[in-house]
Structure 1
Amino acid sequence: MTNDRTPRRIQSVELAFDILEVLRDSGGATVTEVADQIDRSPGTTHTYLATMADRGYVRNRDGEYQVGLFAVPLGEYVRGQSQLYRVGKSEVDELAQETGEASHLVVESHGREIPLYERFGPDAVGETLYEENKGHPRWNLHCSAAGKAILAHTPPERRDEILTNYEFAERTPQTTTDEASLREELEAVRQQGFAQNDEEQITGLRAVGAPIRYEGQIRGAISLSAPTSRLQGQQFASEIPERVVQAANVVEINLQSA
């Protein structure tokens, strides 16, 4: 008798999620285009799409299928269930309003970076790009300030699990793309209590991130991003890091009293 500890998978469920991801990534696709992507016949693909459309999670617009509007309240429900979101939102708002820049509340899931909440101050840049990327869990833990803050304070076993077969996407010429260099940087992040992103994710943009911890576990991170022309010198080296760490500490206190 074999002892197979690999969890069983239901292929039809996996296929339904594959279809949703195809529609998300493409912005909309025909039956034939989806069928090509998931390697199924047009007939089988149409049956899946029709079923998902009946449930509201897919919509058909003149033969082009898109993710349906029922996905919106589902996502809002998931976010609303997050204690970190509920207690961290106001601090993100305050940080953005105070600095005029973009502030982010970020978590990790399945080795990807998930923006839980973002607020753009009156002087913030890159809002359109952030909005475009919001619906796509991305391999950004190695190049974003919030991602590195999370990775640095993740338990070693979990960090090793994440970095195994991790996709070190080269976002800019400044992106760290090898595990050894990243691990060295993460050690420095643990020592100083915050992480920096020096044009590693988007050229012309810097960021500072600080971990949010509660009951001995990393819950996420808060970060601030701004153009290099405004985030430089002491601002980048110490002033903004101190403010972001302060914001993270406030969220940690709020988690205790929630």
Structure 2
Amino acid sequence: MSDSISYRGLRSEGVSSDIPLQTVARAFEVLDLLEREREAGPAEIAELMDVTRSTAHDYLVSLEATGFVVREAGTYRISYRFLERGSLLKYRNRYFHSSDVVLRKLSEQSDELAQLGQEEAGDWVMLHEEGDLTSVQTGTYPGFRTPLHSHAAGKVLLAHLPDERVDELLDVDELAAVTEHTVTDPAVLREELETITDQGYAIDREEQVIGIGFVSCPVIEDTELLGSVSVACPTGRLEQDEYRAELIQNVRAAAEEIAVNYRFY
């Protein structure tokens, strides 16, 4: 995983004809392109979208009028209004408020990067992280999302979703690979999910980031799957039996504490 933003926008799959308002879908396509390119002018957007320059200009000007896009020196970029909305979403989240102190303690105990995430639309979404970001480079940030199957923090959620939801997500011939170590065979993944359910935690080695492994536990309160808590560390340290066992114990304790906090928040 690099520090660049992964592009999984509408253009990559084409704007679906099932979307009632195509103009809304195309506007989000422009936003996806601005996210990928970081900044662009009408000519660049027109080429990328295969539309006329005037059409691209109209979209950019309209988005600028909403305040979600800003124009600087003839080019356009996404504004910090998205940061404002994202931060509000995060800080209104009961799960986050039940977890922030616990996550900080987990990072201090392990001296590693601790992360908190939830499932949304088949992805693991990172809500918050605590720790020394220079110790491991995961390329993640609040709002980062990746398919559930691609690392431990997502797999541990996948293992606790209803069977029909799992079938829906895994009803493909092959799952997307994030690294060469990502499990892409649905049948193999299903076997792994059974193990994760039995042991109560998940571990991955370089399936999401080369050189980095994750230990993760689900956060469950009264049968409600809230999300997952995890620790990221260099793979070499994860291979040490005693160290790995300690990480699992700390992550499991953090998940239980978050669940208790959520109950009484």
What's the TM-score, normalizing by structure 2? 0.86
Does the Cα contact within 8 Å between 1:145 and 1:207 map onto a contact in 2? yes
Matches within 5 A, 1:2-41: 9-41=20-52
Matches within 5 A, 1:1-258: 9-121=20-132, 124-126=135-137, 129-131=139-141, 136-139=144-147, 141-165=148-172, 168-235=175-242, 237-258=244-265
CA shift at 1:12, angstroms? 1.8
Whole-Å Cα distance in 1 between the matches of residues 39 and 52 of structure 2?
18
Does the Cα contact within 8 Å between 1:100 and 1:123 map onto a contact in 2? no
Calculate the aligned-residue CA RMSD, in Å: 2.2
More deviation in 186-195 or 74-83?
Answer: 74-83
Identity of aligned residues (%): 31
What's the TM-score, normalizing by structure 1? 0.88
**Match of 1:9, as an amino acid?**
P
**Match of 2:76, as an amino acid?**
Y
Q: 1:220 to 1:135 in 2, by over 3 A?
A: closer
CA shift at 1:33, angstroms? 2.1
**Match of 2:250, as an amino acid?**
R
CA shift at 1:56, angstroms? 1.5
Q: Deviations over 1:115-146 (max 9, x none)?
A: 1001123773115x224xx555323x212111
User: Which runs of at least 4 in structure 1 moved beyond 6 Å after TM superposition?
Assistant: none
Segments of structure 1 that go 5 or more residues without pairing to the other structure are: 1-5
Segments of structure 2 that go 5 or more residues without pairing to the other structure are: 1-16
CA shift at 1:237, angstroms? 4.3
**Match of 1:229, as an amino acid?**
G
Q: Deviations over 1:140-167 (max 9, x none)?
A: x212111011100111112222223597
Q: 1:236 to 1:42 in 2, by over 3 A?
A: farther
State the aligned residue count: 249
Whole-Å Cα distance in 2 between the matches of residues 237 and 92 of structure 1?
18
Q: 1:174 to 1:107 in 2, by over 3 A?
A: same
